[in-house]
Amino acid sequence: MVEPYAAVDIIRTKRDRGALRPEQIDWVIDAYVRGVVAEEQMAALAMAILLNGMDEAEIVRWTDAMIRSGERMDFTTLERPTVDKHSTGGVGDKITLPLVPVVAACGAAVPQLSGRGLGHTGGTLDKLESIPGWRANLSNDEMFEVLRSCGGVICAAGPGLAPADKKLYALRDVTGTVEAIPLIASSIMSKKIAEGAGGLVLDVKTGSGAFMSDPVQAKRLAETMVRIGLDSGVNTRALITAMDVPLGLTVGNALEVRESVEVLAGGGPPDVIELTITLAREMLDLAGITGVDPATTLRDGSAMDVWKRMIRAQGGDPDAQLPVATHRHQVVAETRGTMTELDALKVGIAAWRLGAGRARKEDSVSEGAGIEIHAKPGDAVAAGMPLLTLHTDDEHRFTTAMQALEGAVVIGATGASVHRLPLILERIN
């Protein structure tokens, strides 16, 4: 077969700030899936896109090409309305774990196709795989059955669903191109549109620990994705939420699962509870479900019941002991006062270096690695008080993790003012 284009010519076009034609986009996505466009060539193109951007027509076409690289799912035979949520990623962002059973307990069906960690942000599948026996990879039939029987499913996208994204997602993680708005938007929306849910709520994060640290850029990304979703017939809205400080009190795979179970049991950190309930209400609204308070499901145990059914349906033991890292190191306060800052990015990088994330796409993660947080901005601290506990299976990792944490914690005078982003900054629909 004679190829109609050469990858290097397409790379040059975007390198030189040109716009790719629809047929060029169609070809490069298809050729990448077929192996004609090599990994290093797509990496170069991804970097050119990061640096020079894409216009709206290019983004829409790129997304459509990603969708057309595989199959589309159909959940119209389910008796429940389908609705999904996607987060752009953050530090300590375990919201999917309690959110899916909460929404399912309220009567919606939640087909949650999730991914693995990208850079300093954690991946939902990595977290769930810390549960003994749980498996992420399901056939379409298995996914449908879990969704039908439990009301929710969290799993990996099958090989037939947007396969172009599966390849590109892993490549972005290790080539410094995660932050590209066109690639974020097309990655998220290609999977979600192909997934076939009737409604979609986007959690677009901003702050130091988010890929879109600038609220203006976060809003641009949110608006781009909402337009893509609506143009594709999926009822879509977005919340822009804070990621200047880690969510909750844990960062790391098994640690975040443990905290999520606490939330499902009626406890857990207030910010995790608030964001879970806020997103649940948005999802239920899109699904047309009224007269149900999602907060009730955390109090009456119905969300926990759904969680246990979901975990068991995918081979996991919800009551099993979660992995614990071999080594621990505490970071303590040097002075008394009020914590004024806890930088999400630095905490995320430290957790990554402890083994909770990947340096290369083929790397495995340490299930027990991560960071416990003992104080948040606004809390009073005393000299010698533990602020963070670092967990790792390789004690040599403490050195680089501590380097990443330099300047992460700021202690001001007692009663010092704290400037944080509000948990919910804006709603876009």
Give me the active site residues, please: 86, 165, 172, 187, 191
* Radius of gyration of the chain measured on its C-alpha atoms: 21
Output the CA torsion 139→145→148→154 (10° steps).
-40
Measuring CA to CA, which residue among 155, 188, 193 is closest to residue 172?
188
3-class SS string, 31-64 = HHHHCCCCHHHHHHHHHHHHHHCCCHHHHHHHHH
* H or E element that contains 86: strand 83-87
Comparing CA positions, the residue from 85, 56, 60, 33 lying closest to residue 186 is: 60
- Token pair of 257, please? 């699962």
SS3 category, 30: helix
Strand intervals (E) in 256-395? 327-332, 337-342, 370-373, 380-381, 386-392
Torsion sign over Cα 256, 120, 195, 204: positive
- C-alpha 201/C-alpha 426 separation (Å) is 13
Strands (E), 217-299: 235-242, 250-251
- Do the bridges between strand 327-332 and strand 386-392 make them parallel or antiparallel, or are there none, so unpaired? antiparallel
